[in-house]
């Protein structure tokens, strides 16, 4: 069996689809299954069992001998969450419990970290372990992810194989439920369909013109390919960046969305909301040399191609992956 936590969510549900495509059908999905909108992400998939996240460790105690691999992708992913108690419970303490269980039962583990750990990027975007204690995230969400990364590398007991993946700006199908935290592509698609225009955040940094803020946007299908690679290459444990290695502007992204819809571009700007203005990242770009160095050689999808696939094959027809 393969366990996937956060399975009704965006990235994890796409991973389940990738696993099913490779005939891995003995999948145990773990989540809080109370959200009807998220459950649609799992419709039609081949699954062994649904396990509520609150009862997972009790379930694992009984079934661990049947488990081959754990993908721990469940987390509180709202980057505007200010309740550190919630983040500590869901992102830090639950992950510690998962780590210790994998050590106890000798199970390989891949878990979700985040590029939010890099904060303003003043130290760059290298996934070298030596930088971990020096990173200063800009919000409590980033702190919770960085706290676990630091805790993990300091543990004397480790799973025989483990990898933490620092996801950069992931976009793609199965994020319909994410609301404000959905990718800018989904917001652009909805705005363009509704109004014919798209409004981006104005730059409040004199080094960047409006719309020229840059992020490393990575297609979710590439993300799950890396997870699949790690499932089959259980060597070289560590923390790895997962982006494309190329920063692109929000203007590039928005123009590509208009193009995928065959619409004339109409881009406007508004002030960045005050609650995120001071913690807004103006540039992110993953250093991908570490992952490449362990043998991952697949090319990453160009932004234009990823947006075209996402918009035309999923958003327009309202399909799931």
Task: Specify binding-site residues.
Answer: 10-11, 31-32, 38, 53, 73-77, 145, 169-170, 178, 180, 187, 201-204, 215, 280
Minimal CA–CA distance to 216: which of 178, 181, 242? Answer: 242
Q: Are 117 and 166 in contact (CB under 8 A)?
A: yes
Find residue 215's DSSP bridge partners.
Answer: 248
Q: Are 314 and 320 in contact (CB under 8 A)?
A: yes
The alpha carbon of residue 206 and the mean position of all alpha carbons in its chain are separated, in whole angstroms, by 29
Q: Are 27 and 1 in contact (CB under 8 A)?
A: yes
Residue positions in the annotated binding site for NADP(+)? 10-11, 31-32, 38, 53, 73-77, 145, 170, 178
**Active-site entry in 141, 171, 219, 314:** 141
Indicate if 321 belongs to the active site: no
Q: How far apart are CA 48 and CA 112, in angstroms?
A: 23
Q: How far apart are CA 57 and CA 236, in angstroms?
A: 26
Indicate if 166 belongs to the active site: no
**Active-site entry in 45, 178, 208, 296:** 178
- For the annotated catalytic residues, the residue numbers are 141, 178
């Amino acid at each position: 069996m393969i366990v996937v936590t956060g399975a009704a969510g965006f990235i994890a549900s796409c991973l389940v689809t990738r696993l099913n495509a490779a005939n891995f059908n003995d999948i145990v999905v773990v989540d809080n299954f109370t959200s009807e909108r998220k459950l649609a992400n799992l419709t039609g998939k081949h699954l062994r069992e649904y396990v509520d996240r609150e009862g997972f460790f009790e379930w694992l105690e009984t079934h661990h001998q049947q488990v081959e691999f754990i993908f721990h992708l469940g987390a509180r992913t709202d980057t505007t969450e200010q309740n550190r108690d919630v983040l500590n419970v869901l992102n830090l303490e639950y992950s510690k419990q998962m780590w210790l269980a994998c050590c106890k039962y000798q199970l390989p583990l891949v878990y979700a970290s985040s590029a939010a750990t890099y904060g303003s990027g003043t130290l760059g975007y290298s996934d070298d372990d030596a930088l971990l204690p020096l990173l200063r995230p800009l919000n409590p969400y980033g702190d919770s992810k960085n706290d676990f990364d630091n805790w993990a590398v300091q543990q004397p007991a480790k799973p025989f194989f483990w990898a933490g993946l620092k996801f950069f700006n992931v976009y793609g199908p199965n994020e319909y439920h994410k609301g404000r935290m959905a990718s800018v592509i989904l917001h652009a698609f909805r705005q363009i369909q509704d109004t014919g225009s798209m409004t981006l955040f104005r730059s409040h940094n004199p080094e960047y013109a409006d719309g020229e803020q840059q992020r490393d946007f990575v297609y979710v299908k590439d993300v799950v390919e890396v997870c699949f690679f790690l499932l089959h290459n259980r060597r070289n444990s560590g923390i790895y960046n997962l982006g494309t290695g190329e920063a692109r502007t929000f203007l590039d992204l928005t123009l590509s969305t208009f193009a995928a819809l065959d619409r004339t571009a109409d881009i406007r700007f508004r002030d960045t909301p005050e609650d995120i203005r001071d913690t807004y990242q103006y540039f992110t770009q993953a250093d991908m040399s570490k992952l490449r160095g362990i043998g991952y050689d697949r090319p990453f999808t160009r932004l234009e191609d990823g947006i075209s696939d996402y918009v035309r094959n999923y958003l327009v027809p309202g399909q799931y992956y």
